[in-house]
Structure 1
Amino acid sequence: MKLLILLSICSSLALKAWTQPSPCVSPPFMTGNAYMHTEIGGITTSGSFDYDALGQQLRIRSSGFSLNGTFSLDLLMQFQQKVAYEIASSTRTCKKVALDAPFNPIQIPPGSFPVAQTVLGTGSVAGMGLLANTWYGEIPQIQATYTLVFSDNACVPLSGTYSSPESGTIIISFYNILLGVRDPMDFIPPYFCQSEEQKNLEDLPKSNFFRLVSPGNK
């Protein structure tokens, strides 16, 4: 009898360990589309992104609207060099700014814990459902909280919500994601940025990811 109880307990613990998702890191190269809405400023944007975790680079092309009107973005962020380029191909102009925040790879931050495992779509028919894990975490230093949803297979980002007193609530959704990089040249500043490239880092205005992708808040 004691042996049966022990086996039952071990089986229960093994099942819990097997179903408990583990923190994951997304593939190092991705391209896709994203939608973002910020509570402060009422900013909504959608567009494409190219992600290079090894080179710590991000290219974003999007358009959107805010309380101040409509806008379009073409941003190249190079975190290893601590710079970003605001690119306007239509006018062949470019503005270089200093990035005052480190690169944050797409992953489950340390200290996060799983809160749910769900199937997006249906699990009744093979190939018509996507198993996803939801994670929650806090950043006490800035009174921020976040909820992140990643696919169980391949750790592809699906959505995220970030809230803090300073930024309000920010909602991001990812879709149409492909593994790899479409064009490595997307991570090289256009030729008309050459004069900006020569500027010294200490002479540049400072910005960060959320300020750059939320021009309606400037």
Structure 2
Amino acid sequence: MRTFVLFVCLSVGCLAQRPKPCTSPPLLTGSLSVSAQNEKLMAYAKYEYDALGKRIRLSEFGSYDNKTFHLDVLLLFRQGVMYKINNRNRTCSKKPLSADFHPMEIPRNASLLGQVVIGSSSGPGQGVLVNTWEGELQMKKGPAKYMSTVTAFGCIPVSTLFHTRKNGWMVTSFFNNVIGLVDPQRLIPPHFCQGAQLEKRLDDDPVTFFNMF
């Protein structure tokens, strides 16, 4: 009988330690890189992420459809607008943002693929414990598959694979992440953007890749 009780206690303990879907910190600052399977998009960006105010700032450079680009954009999802900022010329364009805001999180219906150590578990500080999840999201243009890896402690994003019919697989890698906003002012439109008039957005604008989150 004691053996059975011990077995039950151990089983409950194991189940309690099983990873659960999580949400990343609402305020993050860091860098990321993105590449698409169809080779249309390759980019590197510094980002500020505010899930509370549904705001994202991206300062990026890369290539899209065989053309290089440098962009500094502020995405304000609550207002449904996107600012393209040119600090050198102190000019700003304002365009509609139709994409929905998706917080950095692991959906509740995601399936756990596994838990591994990135690096080494041989000594302290030599590796990071991460969880990898998979699932499917219902987007405006149809279902999209994803596979996301986050740290086991803190739910900090590490990488995300996202599949759409248009672009195939898109790979995003996160690094140099800091919890909080290093410079909160970067999520506020510069003063020279105040007079910007709302323009028509191009459908192939590369900055919209961030709506996968």
Same-fold call, TM cutoff 0.5:
yes
Contact 2:43–2:61 under 8 Å retained in 1? yes
Instruction: Work out the CA distance in 1 between the residues paired with 2:164 and 2:99.
Output: 17
Whether 1:12 aligns to 2:14 is no
**Deviation at residue 43 of structure 1 after TM alignment:** 1.5
Q: Which residue of 1 aligns with 2:151?
A: 151
Deviates most, 107-116 or 145-154: 107-116
Q: Which residue of 2 aligns with 1:178?
A: 178
Q: Which residue of 2 aligns with 1:47?
A: 45
Q: Which residue of 1 aligns with 2:62?
A: 64
Q: Secondary structure at the match of 1:143?
A: strand
Structure-2-length-normalised TM-score: 0.88
Contact 1:26–1:107 under 8 Å retained in 2? yes
Q: Structure 1's 66 and 102: CA in aligned 2 closer, same or farther, altered over 3 A?
A: closer
**Deviation at residue 67 of structure 1 after TM alignment:** 4.0
Q: Secondary structure at the match of 2:186?
A: helix
Q: Which residue of 2 aligns with 1:212?
A: 207
Q: Which residue of 2 aligns with 1:99?
A: 97
1:21-72 CA-partner distances (Å, limit 9, x unpaired) = 0111111111111000012353111121011111111100011123432111
Q: Structure 1's 111 and 208: CA in aligned 2 closer, same or farther, altered over 3 A?
A: farther
Instruction: Work out the CA distance in 1 between the residues paired with 2:205 and 2:149.
Output: 20
- Matching residue's letter, 2:125: G
Unpaired segments ≥5 residues, structure 2: none
Q: Which residue of 1 aligns with 2:195?
A: 195
- Matching residue's letter, 1:205: K
Q: Paired residues, what number?
A: 207
Q: Structure 1's 124 and 28: CA in aligned 2 closer, same or farther, altered over 3 A?
A: same
Instruction: Work out the CA distance in 1 between the residues paired with 2:205 and 2:108.
Output: 21
1:7-34 CA-partner distances (Å, limit 9, x unpaired) = 424423431x133101111111111110
Q: Secondary structure at the match of 1:186?
A: helix
Unpaired segments ≥5 residues, structure 1: none
Q: Structure 1's 70 and 206: CA in aligned 2 closer, same or farther, altered over 3 A?
A: closer
Q: Structure 1's 175 and 208: CA in aligned 2 closer, same or farther, altered over 3 A?
A: farther
Q: Secondary structure at the match of 2:195?
A: helix
Q: Secondary structure at the match of 2:16?
A: helix
- Matching residue's letter, 1:145: K
Instruction: Work out the CA distance in 1 between the residues paired with 2:186 and 2:138.
Output: 36
Deviates most, 32-41 or 3-12: 3-12
**Deviation at residue 122 of structure 1 after TM alignment:** 0.8
Q: In proportion to residue count, which structure has more helix?
A: 1
Runs of 4+ with >6 A deviation: 207-210
Q: Structure 1's 209 and 79: CA in aligned 2 closer, same or farther, altered over 3 A?
A: farther
Q: Which residue of 2 aligns with 1:88?
A: 86
**Deviation at residue 205 of structure 1 after TM alignment:** 2.5
Q: Structure 1's 65 and 204: CA in aligned 2 closer, same or farther, altered over 3 A?
A: closer
- Matching residue's letter, 1:53: A
**Deviation at residue 184 of structure 1 after TM alignment:** 1.4
Structure-1-length-normalised TM-score: 0.86
Instruction: Work out the CA distance in 2 between the residues paired with 1:29 and 1:206.
Output: 27
Q: Secondary structure at the match of 1:116?
A: strand
**Once the two structures are aligned, what percentage of the paired residues are identical?**
33
- Supply the RMSD in Å over aligned alpha carbons: 2.2
1:103-136 CA-partner distances (Å, limit 9, x unpaired) = 1111112311111100011111012111100000
